[in-house]
Structure 1
Amino acid sequence: MEWRSVQFDWNRARAFLVAAEEGSLSAAANALGLTQPTLGRQVRALEQELGVELFKRTGKSLELTASGFELIEHVRAMGLAASQMSLAAAGQTQSIEGVTRISASEVAAAHVLPDVLGRVRRTAPQMSVEVLATNSTSDLLRREADIALRGFRPEQPDLIARRVQDSRVRLYATPEYLAQLEQVDGQPNLLAAEYIGFDDTERLIDLLNQHGLSVSYRNFPLLTLNQLVQWEWVKRGLGIGLMLEAVGDLEPSVQRVLADHDPILFPSWLVAHRGLRTSRRVRLVFDLLVAELG
């Protein structure tokens, strides 16, 4: 294949990369904060500059052509290099102005971070904080966030992690829901109860079985990917669900299930890119998170 010499435009190459990764123009436009027509024009302009077709359009989906496959790894390497340059530049700043992005689960964002955010506002009122409340793992290497609060230790060598206090989690339900269950020796039959599942119900089943509850998929007739919705369902008496002990114990409409058992402990890790630890702004937020959560 012959490639013609072209004037390089990174915006067009990035549009091609994200469109390939997302699989559609609409998803790629949303990821880049562009309109779909704008992103489509960038991809078409790159195709015209290179003189090749990069995608096959099948309905609303995109499939890479042979030429697209040949180019995508080169563009992906360029994207990683651009991210590394951005990280290196961000790590050199000594200003505490600007935006620091924190990624955390929905429950952590709603119930764990507020105290930390208050301290940040008092310590550095000129700084802004953006919280990404998501149960997905944010890509710190691509600057989706500066800091992440996670339930696992990262394996990438470019990320650093600090373990903070484990999350104490318990099962909760309304007294009315527990009262309607079949009673065994004066206690609710939890093996016949209904539990509210997450996206990874298999992991939750394994976890409950490890704590003495022999449950299966039949015990999970309701599923939601949103932790705050799950908690609201528990408070409405739809079943048994997990919640942070500090949150559940303060909710008057529910009570502990298996109150005489120890809480379930989940590890918590603060994660940041190694280069960003030299940023005064990010380091300030990181250290405040350690002090508040440690």
Structure 2
Amino acid sequence: MNWQAISFDWNQVRAFLATVEEGSFSAAARALGQTQPTVGRQVAALEEALGVILFERVGKSLTLSGTGAELLDHVRDMANVASRISLVASGQSQNIEGLVRITAADVMSAYLLPPVLEKIRAVAPRLKIDVVASNEIRDIQRREADIAIRHVRPTQPDLIAKLVTEATAHFYGASAYLDRVGRPTDLAGLAALDFVSLGSVDQMIGYLEPAGVPVRPENFRIGSANGIVAWEMVRQGFGIVPMMDEVGAMTPGVEQMLPDMEPFKFPVWLATHSELHTARRIRLVFDLLAEHFGRSAQK
């Protein structure tokens, strides 16, 4: 094979890599923000350009071919180099304008980010902010976000991470719901109430049982992986849930339960790539986020 004569589009390589990592054309399309036919055409075009078969197609399933497996490490090296180039280029920008992507959990994105976004708009009105509301940890090194707000300390290399506050949470329920079922006076009493699950019921039970809350799967009759939807279910009286105190305090119609209990505590970390942090727009947003969450914790 004459590799020097081969020419292909980088988008085709990205489509191939995303298909391998996500497991299908449809999943790769979602990850890339494209349509499934577009991803399929890009992979087919790459196969044609290279003169090889990258995937064995059996029905609707895809299996990486031997040649595809051999090329995979090289493609990943190319992706890492491309990401590094993008990071360095972004880091050299000294203009307080352009796009900054902030990723945070959906509840934090909806309820806690807007006040600091107002501050950012006032300080740098030419900035554009894209809030990536997701409960999944986004990869800053792949430029899925410029700044991440997380509740676990980031461990990826080349990241700058800052612990900005330790948030607290209590149990909350709608006042109308508690008027109907009663207000328990201790953790044991919570076992008689309905809970709204935030994501996996097993994970919630695994979190609550060690804290002394005797819940069972039967307590969870409704829930959602989307935190905003789950919180709205609580507000409308479907049950109770542990929630950040800042969010509980700003939501009409709900009340904090067991106010004398020791609150749940969890850290709030900011993270960005070391190369990105040299860009004025990234550093400005990072510092304003740190200042805002630090002050909120002191109120």
Q: Please report the TM-score for the alignment, with normalisation by the length of structure 1.
A: 0.91
- Amino acid paired to 1:211: A
Task: Name the counterpart of 1:293.
Answer: 293
| SS of aligned partner of 1:262 | coil
Residues 106 and 251 of structure 1, relative CA distance in 2, 3 Å threshold: same
| SS of aligned partner of 1:102 | strand
- State which drifts further: 206-215 or 226-235: 206-215
Residues 68 and 170 of structure 1, relative CA distance in 2, 3 Å threshold: same
Between the aligned partners of 2:137 and 2:167, the Cα distance in structure 1 is 18
Residues 58 and 242 of structure 1, relative CA distance in 2, 3 Å threshold: farther
Task: Name the counterpart of 1:27.
Answer: 27
Alignment of 1:207-246 (within 5 A): 207-246=207-246
- Amino acid paired to 1:178: L
Task: Name the counterpart of 1:39.
Answer: 39
Residues 172 and 70 of structure 1, relative CA distance in 2, 3 Å threshold: same
Between the aligned partners of 2:3 and 2:128, the Cα distance in structure 1 is 45
* Cα displacement (A) at 1:179: 4.5
- State which drifts further: 24-33 or 144-153: 24-33
* Cα displacement (A) at 1:238: 0.9
* Cα displacement (A) at 1:182: 7.7
| SS of aligned partner of 1:196 | strand
- Amino acid paired to 1:131: V
Note the alpha carbon deviations across 1:228-261, whole angstroms, 9 max, x for none: 1111111111111122212213434222222221
Between the aligned partners of 1:184 and 1:264, the Cα distance in structure 2 is 18
* Cα displacement (A) at 1:187: 10
* Cα displacement (A) at 1:219: 2.2
| SS of aligned partner of 1:39 | helix
Task: Name the counterpart of 2:93.
Answer: 93
Q: Is the 8 A contact 1:102 1:145 kept in 2?
A: yes
Residues 86 and 185 of structure 1, relative CA distance in 2, 3 Å threshold: closer
- State which drifts further: 43-52 or 85-94: 43-52
- State which drifts further: 26-35 or 174-183: 174-183
* Cα displacement (A) at 1:286: 0.4
- Amino acid paired to 1:48: E
Residues 41 and 185 of structure 1, relative CA distance in 2, 3 Å threshold: closer
Residues 41 and 172 of structure 1, relative CA distance in 2, 3 Å threshold: same
Between the aligned partners of 2:183 and 2:253, the Cα distance in structure 1 is 21
Say how many residue pairs are matched.
293
Q: Quick check: 1:77 aligned with 2:77?
A: yes
| SS of aligned partner of 2:277 | helix
Between the aligned partners of 1:114 and 1:187, the Cα distance in structure 2 is 33
Task: Name the counterpart of 1:109.
Answer: 109
Q: Is the 8 A contact 1:105 1:134 kept in 2?
A: yes
Task: Name the counterpart of 2:125.
Answer: 125
- Amino acid paired to 2:151: G
* Cα displacement (A) at 1:183: 8.4
Residues 186 and 210 of structure 1, relative CA distance in 2, 3 Å threshold: closer
* Cα displacement (A) at 1:21: 1.6
Between the aligned partners of 1:103 and 1:158, the Cα distance in structure 2 is 18
- Amino acid paired to 1:150: R
Q: Is the 8 A contact 1:178 1:188 kept in 2?
A: no
* Cα displacement (A) at 1:24: 2.2
Name structure 1 gaps, 5 residues minimum.
none
Identity of aligned residues (%): 46
Q: Please report the TM-score for the alignment, with normalisation by the length of structure 2.
A: 0.90
- Amino acid paired to 1:261: M
- State which drifts further: 33-42 or 191-200: 33-42
Note the alpha carbon deviations across 1:3-59, whole angstroms, 9 max, x for none: 754224322212211122222223323333334333322211211222211112244
* Cα displacement (A) at 1:107: 1.1
RMSD between aligned residues: 2.3
Task: Name the counterpart of 2:266.
Answer: 266
Residues 48 and 262 of structure 1, relative CA distance in 2, 3 Å threshold: same
Name structure 2 gaps, 5 residues minimum.
295-299
Note the alpha carbon deviations across 1:142-162, whole angstroms, 9 max, x for none: 000000100010111211111
Between the aligned partners of 2:285 and 2:253, the Cα distance in structure 1 is 35
Note the alpha carbon deviations across 1:201-235, whole angstroms, 9 max, x for none: 33432332233212233322223101111111111
Between the aligned partners of 2:149 and 2:282, the Cα distance in structure 1 is 14
Residues 4 and 277 of structure 1, relative CA distance in 2, 3 Å threshold: closer
Q: Quick check: 1:55 aligned with 2:25?
A: no
